[in-house]
Structure 1
Amino acid sequence: MIGKILRFGRRQHHTIISREIIKPSSPTTSHLRTYNLSYLDQGIPHMYMPLILFYPNNENCSLTADYKVQKLKKSLSQTLTRYYPFAGRLHTPTTPYVDCNDEEVVFVEAKHDSQLHKFQHTIEEEDETVGQLFADDMVWIRSPHSTSLVGVQLNHFACGGIGLAVSMSHKICDGCTLGSYMNYWASVARCGSTDHKEVLPLNPHFIQSPTTTNPINPLQPTTQIRCAHFVTRKFIFPNSKLSDLKNKVSSINSPTRFEVLSSLIYKTVVAATTQRSSSFTPYFLAIPVDVRNHFVPKLPQTTVGNFLRTMLVATRHESETSLSVLVSEIRKEKMEVKRVRSWQLTSQSLESVMSRIGVSRSFWCSSLCGFPYSKVDFGWGNPTVASVTFGALRRNGCVLMDTPNGDGILARVTLDSLDMEVFQNDKELLSFCKIN
């Protein structure tokens, strides 16, 4: 693997320079050798959530590249002692437990011959080369034979900047867990110890699930993603424009930024596909929601696993696509989410999703706003770009994240290329955003 050259277009080259396995700094004890996945975790397909963080070469920072690499490796090893299941593996993608064998986190180093400030904008295209930034191409859809849960690749750019790419199996984490893990790892690197007073409050919280003899089949992506050419585009919605958008649904009491923006994007998607096909097709808007705060008692935000309920907004008729109707329907679904108090109610919602999704066309909208990805500081400052790459998932959907400066929401929207041509030229959409 070392020395392999990967081509990015005509002039860019990516070279793998090292590869090693990072193990926990202390071996996992025998009584923790088996980590049972929860019922919810079992219902998630084994595919990788890919996060990449870009750090420029700060002239005011005296840390050398070699120092940063060693700091990352050492702190990762310390982190894996606390997040011990992450260094384990699945025997098969549907195995209901993790074998915590301390042997499965790969750390790859690579060199890229382009400038970071130029390259970090090209990642928004989300083409097949994006996967080469991640260890073993761990980007969403993955070989059914892969059993690792975490992979890391550190990409060095010609200017001295770096891109830290982390892949984590959705089988064991949701967006909240990924954020907690990165925040913990960065804090250990900054503070130098897992026992530091700033690190201890960030310790992971594990819930031991009972052994399951009849594991459920994971929810699989719908077949609509297999026969289209998907593209991803980035849209930025400033807070001032989001305020204007809220004013368009004055009949709704105190609408949130997420409610109005997800409704606008979904509304525009339905209009684009209807225009292109010359006929309306029923849709579902699917929105995964963190339910840790709804459990009784509440679960810490550092609780590891998938604690999600998927809200489904059905659009059976074209008349149901107005902003006010969509925001109202999201509000109703939110009230149902608030009823979640335990594993049982959350599990029932997953079964509902599994039975209903795929009946009509679906559009997923996942919000990562408020998650600390853009503040992951290993000791050399915050990243200039924090991106959960989505296009490689090859399905209709969008990811919403806070803009780096805090003034608005950045939406990465993935659609069939022909639908995107209509979507990105929608006059109403463009009146509230800027394309970047």
Structure 2
Amino acid sequence: MMGKQLHTIISREIIKPSNPTPSNLNTYNLSEIDIIAGKAYLPLVFFYPNNLNCSLLTAQEKARVLKKSLSQTLTRYYPFAGRLSTHLAPYIDCNDEGVVFLEATIDSELDAFKLISEHDENHLDASFADDMVCYNSPHNVSLVGVQLNHFVCGGVALAVSMSHIIGDSCTLASFMTHWASVAADYGLVDHKSVLLPLNPFFIHSPRSNSILPDSSAVINQDLISNYVMRTFVFPNSKLSDLKNKVVAAGSINNPTRVEVLTSLLHKTALLAAATNNSGCFKPSYLFIMVDIRNKLVEKLPQNTAGNFASFMMVPTRDKSETSLSMLVGEIKKHKLQMEGVQSVKHAAENLISSMSKLGNEALYACTSSCGFPFNKVDFGWGKPVATAFALRSAGKNGFVLMDTPEDDGIQAQVILEKQDMEVFENDMEMLSFCQMNNV
């Protein structure tokens, strides 16, 4: 295993919107779901190699394009450049104070860094501005942080971290797509030649009486250090085989790639935990995040900014319920129950009610970004060769699914306790459907 590469910060700047936010938009009230989302970050890094398009620009020119286009993008995503009025306030002052933008050099080749990052859960953290990989603190005032990392080979890693207070993965995807389109436009003679995405749609919520959860407590580093992350790749051809296996075993019709893969990962993790518990099976819940923009009675456009996500709680009470067909069936049943959400307020109430029912069950979380255009984020020097979330600081069992860069499969980032991962990554059924990137 290779050692850590040296990150050296070479510049720090605050990027402000290119135009001031109108006075009538100076206050952005958080919705009830925003408040529940709390002060976690969504930290995502994009890897761009030094290909022909990338090499046409110097490191300084790439940074200039990114900063200029970010400034313009922030005029549309104006709450992102704001600040929480107080540490616990349920609204944002849209005061245009800006977004932190750091540049760093990494004493490594991009490919070597990316490869070790797939196995070393500590490795990505230094790629993000101001340690924005876990929870916001009173000392970290920016709602969005950007760090442009330059590799010795000329490639770059753009690490973007967005506070969960201001949006979910769908919001982050819309923001990145908009920013990249503006940046690509700057590299062209005719600035009208790139069709920009739709401007974000902001819903103006009434002021909530709730306060934000206080996340200033010290994070238990011993707990975090007991978890490890691994990256697995499941080609579409293998996922088709997995779908056929599920269909042949039961009465499941037309399972999706995400449904069968989520079930396989969850089953493998549950059996690994039982193996390490002398064969004793512990009941569990699988939390699956769901975008509810198109599940509300009054549907919302996909470019609606904010948190419009809920989760399904899929129970597994006994080892006999871990067959793939049963797990897929439970996921489909709970998915149907998500249709027809009355309002954001009702969704928030359902979230709180569901959480109140938890006992001593084991918890696993699954988030799918499949279908989101993260792998198409092109700032003018090509699409990323890889994207990855920083998961180490989550300190919990879970799976994050993303489309592979070539859209020929699904990449799964899996985080589990160390002893469970040792069993998980050697499971023959799981391995038969994937290719694992080895250092």
TM-score range, shorter chain: over 0.9
Shift of the 26–119 alpha-carbon distance from structure 1 to 2, 3 Å rule, reads same
Residues 333 and 93 of structure 1: is their aligned pair in 2 closer, same or farther, counting only changes over 3 Å? farther
SS in 2 for 1:292: coil
- Residue 319 of structure 1 and its aligned partner are, at CA, apart by 1.2
Match of 1:59 among 26, 32, 52: 52
Q: Is the 8 A contact 2:125 2:390 kept in 1?
A: no
TM-score by length of 1: 0.92
CA distance in 1, matches of 2:85, 2:173: 26
1:306–1:218 distance in 2 versus 1, CA, 3 Å: farther
Percent of pairs with identical residues: 55
Q: Secondary structure at the match of 2:165?
A: coil
For residues 50-103 of structure 1, what are the alpha-carbon distances to aligned partners after superposition, in whole Å with 9 as ceiling and x for unaligned? 111111112354222221111100000000011000001113443210111211
- Alignment match, 1:76: 70
Distance in structure 2 (CA, Å) of the matches to 1:276 and 1:316: 18
Counterpart in the other structure of 1:205: 201
Amino acid at match of 2:336: M
Partner in structure 2 of residue 113 of structure 1: 107
* 1:49 alignment partner in structure 2: 42
1:226 equivalent to 2:223? Answer yes
Counterpart position of 2:30: 37
C-alpha distance in structure 1 between counterparts of 2:221 and 2:140, whole Å: 24
2:290: which partner in 1?
A: 289
**Partner residue of 1:154?**
148
In structure 2, the residue matched to 1:405 is 406
Q: Would the alpha carbon gap of residues 377 and 403 (structure 1) be closer, same or farther in structure 2, given more than 3 Å must change? A: same
Equivalent positions of 1:63-142 (< 5 A) are 63-142=57-136
Secondary structure at the residue paired with 1:260? Answer: helix
The gaps in structure 2 that reach 5 residues or longer are none
The 5 A counterparts of 1:28-427 are 28-59=21-52, 61-192=55-186, 196=192, 198-215=194-211, 217=213, 226=223, 229-250=226-247, 251-278=251-278, 279-357=280-358, 359-427=360-428
- How far residue 128 of structure 1 moved from its aligned partner, in angstroms, is 2.8
- Of the structure 1 ranges 297-306 and 76-85, higher mean CA displacement relative to structure 2 is found in 297-306
> Do the aligned partners of residues 432 and 108 (structure 1) sit closer, same or farther apart at CA in structure 2, a change above 3 Å counting?
same
Q: Could you tell me how far apart the structure 1 residues matched to 2:4 and 2:197 are?
A: 46
Write the letter of the residue equivalent to 1:393: A
* CA distance in structure 2 between the aligned counterparts of 1:334 and 1:225, rounded to whole angstroms: 36
Aligned residues: 428
Secondary structure of the residue that 1:101 maps to in structure 2? coil
Distance 2:101 2:224 in 1: 34
2:241 and 2:114 map into 1 onto residues whose CA distance is: 30
Q: Name the CA distance, whole Å, in 2 between partners of 1:224 and 1:277.
A: 24
Residue deviations 1:372-428 (CA, integer Å, cap 9, x gap): 111101111101111122222121001000111111111010001111000111111
Write the deviation string for residues 101-145 of structure 1: whole angstroms up to 9, x where unpaired.
211411001111111111111112343342111000100234354
What whole-Å deviation, never above 9, does each CA across 1:184-204 have from its counterpart, x for those lacking one?
0001111239x9575554210
Deviation (angstroms), 1:172: 1.0
Q: Distance in 1 between matches of 2:224 and 2:42?
A: 22
Q: Give the direction of change, closer, same or farther, for the CA distance of 1:220–1:274 in structure 2 (3 Å limit).
A: farther
Report the secondary structure of 2:20's partner residue.
coil
- Compared with structure 1, are the counterparts of its residues 78 and 199 closer, same or farther at alpha carbon in structure 2 (3 Å cutoff)? farther
Amino acid at match of 2:152: A
- Corresponding residue SS for 1:12: coil
Using the TM superposition, name which of 220-229 and 56-65 deviates more. Answer: 220-229
Letter in 1 for 2:200: P
Conserved? CA contact 2:167–2:305, under 8 Å: yes
Query: Structure 2 CA distance, aligned partners of 1:271 and 1:405?
Result: 32
What is the identity, as a one-letter code, of the residue corresponding to 2:145? G
Q: Per-residue displacement from partner, 1:19-61 (whole Å, max 9, x unpaired)?
A: 0110000111222111000111011120111111111112354
Q: Distance in 2 between matches of 1:236 and 1:299?
A: 32
Give the conservation status (yes or no) of the 8 Å contact 2:224–2:394.
no
Structure 1: which 5+ runs fail to align?
1-7
RMSD: 2.4
In structure 2, the CA distance between the partners of 1:214 and 1:236, relative to structure 1 (3 Å rule), is closer
- Paired residue type of 1:375: K
Distance in 1 (CA, whole Å) between partners of 2:269 and 2:426 is 11
